[in-house]
Amino acid sequence: MTLYLDYAASTPVDPAVAAVMAAALADPELQGNPSAVHAPGRAAAARIEAARAQVAALIGARPAEILWTSGATEANNLAVLGAARFRASRGRHVVTSSTEHASVVGACRQLEREGFAVTWLDPDGDGLLDAQQVAAALRPDTTLVSIMAVNNETGVVQDVAAIGAVCRARGVLFHVDAVQAAGREPLDVGAQQIDLLSISGHKFYGPKGAGALFVNGRTLRRVEPLLHGGGQERGLRPGTLATHQLVGLGLAAELAGARLDADRRAQSALREALWAAIARVPGVLLNGHRARRACHILNVSVEGVEGESLLLALEALAVSSGAACGAASGEPSAVLRRLGRSDALAQASIRFSVGRATTAADIDAAAAAFVAGVAHLRRIAPAAA
């Protein structure tokens, strides 16, 4: 049986979430279109609004500031493209980092094709950006900064409050990809001065295919929609809402908020135990800042082995060599290369990510498999890093 240690890629649906979704699918009173004015439609709409309040509470927002999306890729695209296009008359300059998720990178590349200027900030060797680095990149025509809260490959946590303060002082919108942070790091869009924030349900034990975008009603109110036709979500994200998906997302958000402190303590301890066990192997290098990291992610590079062989040697473990969205490319991690790793070390990297169901015995088994796998590879096919 495969030992699952890829919670950064996707978490299993919480049983309570699965139950409430199944109940919503079977409930004859919730089968109406939420846009309809008849009783079944109003009943579905009411459940969706309750879920909106649950998601808003997780990030310190107001329910009216939550827009439903199909997940983080759509939310990130809607935030970056929608906000930049909506404010294009004020300026056409965007600031982001070179280590963002592919959905933010892709959206910024699209803006460049449309004539926008994008400044790509490189983090330091630990994966951190400094707020003053962001401040120095701002120009009179800058309208948007997009920086993720927790890096999806290394787990490095950025100081989004400090960056938010810089942006607010200059009247620049601040978007945060909080996909890996939601349910794992405290989030407060008001205190952190965030204008747009993206989350995805399947990263915190909710359903796949359901996410949300926070749009600050005090600083922005609207973005340019990506889709047209239909008035749902104030016309910013049209389309019939999936009642059962959003009911599940709402409960997952509520549970994530209630369990935040306990989950952080437990998962940090497991992550540290794993690092302590595998750090004894010569040539195992930690990727990302030692302390400024989320509770669930441990990313390491291994000297003297070949990347694809390393994954095969760990076939009993469900782990990844980088972001889940880029797992099929076979290319060395762009994030790790930006942190100064060679192509060989970037490719010979493993991202372990723990979750609620991970046990101390799982960590012991994973460490034993890793130590044995690396020793085996170095014995049969030593490679220069």
Residues 108, 167, 295, 325: which is the catalytic one?
A: 325
CA dist 317 and 319 (Å) reads 6
CB atoms within 10 A of CB 334: 18
Give the integer Cα–Cα distance in Å for 127 and 216.
28
- Is 325 designated active site? yes
Q: How far apart are CA 213 and CA 194, in angstroms?
A: 12
Q: Number of C-alpha atoms within 13 angstroms, CB side, residue 166?
A: 23
Distances (CA, A) of 224 to 56, 203, 234: 22, 26, 11
Instruction: State the Cα–Cα distance between residues 157 and 36, nearest whole angstrom.
Output: 43
Q: Where are the alpha helices (DSSP H) in the chain?
A: 15-26, 39-59, 72-86, 102-113, 131-137, 160-170, 243-278, 307-313, 334-338, 343-347, 360-380
How many CB atoms are located within 10 Å of the residue 40 CB?
Answer: 16
Q: Which of 87, 120, 123 is nearest to 104 (CA)?
A: 120
Answer for the pair 316, 2: CB distance below 8 angstroms, yes or no: yes
Which of 247, 198, 234 minimizes the C-alpha distance to 50?
A: 247
Residues annotated as catalytic (active site), given as ranges: 325
